[in-house]
Structure 1
């Protein structure tokens, strides 16, 4: 009975998208911004494409550029992991809402060290990225990893080159766990564009360390590390750790849904989590585009939880989804 009800609901959602867009050939939208969210929106649109012919052109160019694109009217929706303040949203005539919650993980390329063998805490992680730790055999890393054979190999930190929500969230985390860390304190490493660029650079750099959204680490089979969380436990990235952290979000009191998910409580909570946000015009130039954008996000929020989980994002709570759609201007 429940499977039948779910099948009917999915069918109605798809029918709504087809009705909004008219024909399969006219079902086209543009979006741009967050690389953190790129796998999510591409997965949602791929399923719709199979069922309706819907097409989404999404430019994975970073959160800062996503904000600029939507403010310039160059895309139908912008995507950013950096929520805008209420004043800016009002001034620019934008509606901001979260679409999912994802995890930022630390990835390494250290010979002889398998995924999740290495343990790091906040101060040590900050020192790896600001250049105070230059060798993987540093005593601070050894102290956290007794018995682990660490090579005397140069550390090659890799960070984002463009304005990035992933970078800002990661920097905020480092400042929270190592108060002397300040945004931009990257050591003598290298830069790469987008989560995919950082993932590729770490994969190609012996001694490399970087930070990416988890979907990119899993896709590229990169080695991740265990991090010390707010409860003092070293936890490995994974669905249980992500869900545990996401459950602590205080959506009710968040300004325009801008929740803080860093250092979430819970013994097994992953410490670096972020919501990712969409930005749409309150008064779009074309009403039909407004309806199409809303239909896309309605489908993604209400019918695509399985695809969202398959990419290791955490779907939003149902009451938050309902509130987003009910408040859509």
Structure 2
């Protein structure tokens, strides 16, 4: 099973084979598609759920925009997105939305001789790098912010998502909040036009991680699990309270602590640039989309059982990958006020 999961992670899909029980009845086969941000933890949950119940989750890690398209086309039992759908659009399409996991988006670099977290930047400087205003690691603004750190000069290659991406939506939401220039010239969303002269695209978090690891003097952005798995060099960031922080589950949790999910229509919100001395400024949640009246009610019921298992028994698995599990108060709200709207068999 471990080798199967490893292969699935490399292929960007979870597909754990369904086997017959001794009674000859086949276990359920759920389908989902979308965000690459939560993919590592969904893979881990899927393996554990398969071992416990025999039920299979086939999840395609195709990006948030793809997940929204697939659920609207009714080709999957659930869609996954890090770019939350607005409440009015949920109502129009007969969908519900709930957050499944919290994590952090992390700027990662490939600069020779620099250790993880050694380079420190603030939001406006990071925004200027990603819009091409700062195009060399030897730029004076970077040097002033990093006294005593030996940063070799070299032209910066910006690595971004080539597909419609909730990770991009979270990242650009942060940059737009901290830089009015970035907000006006680039904006925010799942897909934006990146203006830096030297820009390379990668498909999924996997593609961005691979390109940053390959291209010297590059900078990109990935969900933290990908940075950790690939032993990538991350940048420390100055948060809203003026403190430089490193990414981990504790700083993600600190950022999310003030979010009152029950008061947010459709539960859809970004958690970027949150207050708090220990808060990681590019924190976000990943969301699940399901129909209130699904065509395959048995599969919808199994999806709810899967996420119920994840909320109850998957916390340690999430923490091992430096995600932050949803608080019990939030998952109780989801069960009572979101799942109750789904007509599942």
- TM-score (normalised: structure 2): 0.87
State the 1:238 CA deviation: 1.5
Contact 1:31 1:56 in 2 (8 A): yes
C-alpha distance in 2 between matches for 1:274 and 1:237 = 12
Q: Which residue of 2 aligns with 1:8?
A: none
* Counterpart check, 1:52 vs 2:62: no
C-alpha distance in 1 between matches for 2:280 and 2:26 = 42
State the 1:150 CA deviation: 1.3
Q: Which residue of 1 aligns with 2:217?
A: 207
Alignment partner of 1:221 out of 207, 215, 231 = 231
Equivalence map 1:34-49=2 (5 Å): 34-49=35-50
Q: Which residue of 1 aligns with 2:163?
A: 162
Number of residues paired by the alignment? 309
Greater CA deviation, 43-52 or 206-215? 43-52
Q: Which residue of 2 aligns with 1:266?
A: 276
State the 1:185 CA deviation: 5.0
Determine helix, strand or coil for the equivalent of 1:292.
helix
Q: 1:24 to 1:111 in 2, by over 3 A?
A: farther
Determine helix, strand or coil for the equivalent of 1:191.
strand
Contact 1:249 1:260 in 2 (8 A): no
C-alpha distance in 1 between matches for 2:270 and 2:52 = 36
Q: Which residue of 2 aligns with 1:65?
A: 66
C-alpha distance in 2 between matches for 1:152 and 1:24 = 63
Alignment partner of 2:296 out of 271, 286, 301 = 286
C-alpha distance in 2 between matches for 1:259 and 1:311 = 23
Alignment partner of 2:201 out of 191, 198, 205 = 191
Q: Which residue of 2 aligns with 1:13?
A: none
Alignment partner of 1:301 out of 308, 311, 314 = 311
C-alpha distance in 2 between matches for 1:90 and 1:267 = 37
Structure 1: give runs of 5+ residues left out of the alignment.
Answer: 1-21
Contact 1:130 1:185 in 2 (8 A): no
Q: Which residue of 1 aligns with 2:140?
A: 139
C-alpha distance in 1 between matches for 2:138 and 2:26 = 58
* Counterpart check, 1:243 vs 2:253: yes
Determine helix, strand or coil for the equivalent of 2:102.
strand
Contact 2:82 2:286 in 1 (8 A): yes
C-alpha distance in 1 between matches for 2:101 and 2:28 = 23
Determine helix, strand or coil for the equivalent of 1:203.
helix
C-alpha distance in 2 between matches for 1:66 and 1:222 = 27
State the 1:93 CA deviation: 1.1
Contact 2:202 2:208 in 1 (8 A): yes
C-alpha distance in 2 between matches for 1:127 and 1:195 = 22
Determine helix, strand or coil for the equivalent of 2:226.
helix
4+ runs deviating over 3 angstroms: 22-25
Greater CA deviation, 139-148 or 297-306? 297-306
Q: Which residue of 1 aligns with 2:106?
A: 105
Contact 1:24 1:54 in 2 (8 A): no
* Counterpart check, 1:257 vs 2:272: no
State the 1:52 CA deviation: 2.5
State the 1:307 CA deviation: 0.8
State the 1:23 CA deviation: 7.1
State the 1:26 CA deviation: 2.5
Contact 1:123 1:178 in 2 (8 A): yes
State the 1:203 CA deviation: 0.4
CA RMSD of aligned residues (A): 1.5
Q: Which residue of 1 aligns with 2:13?
A: none
State the 1:239 CA deviation: 2.2
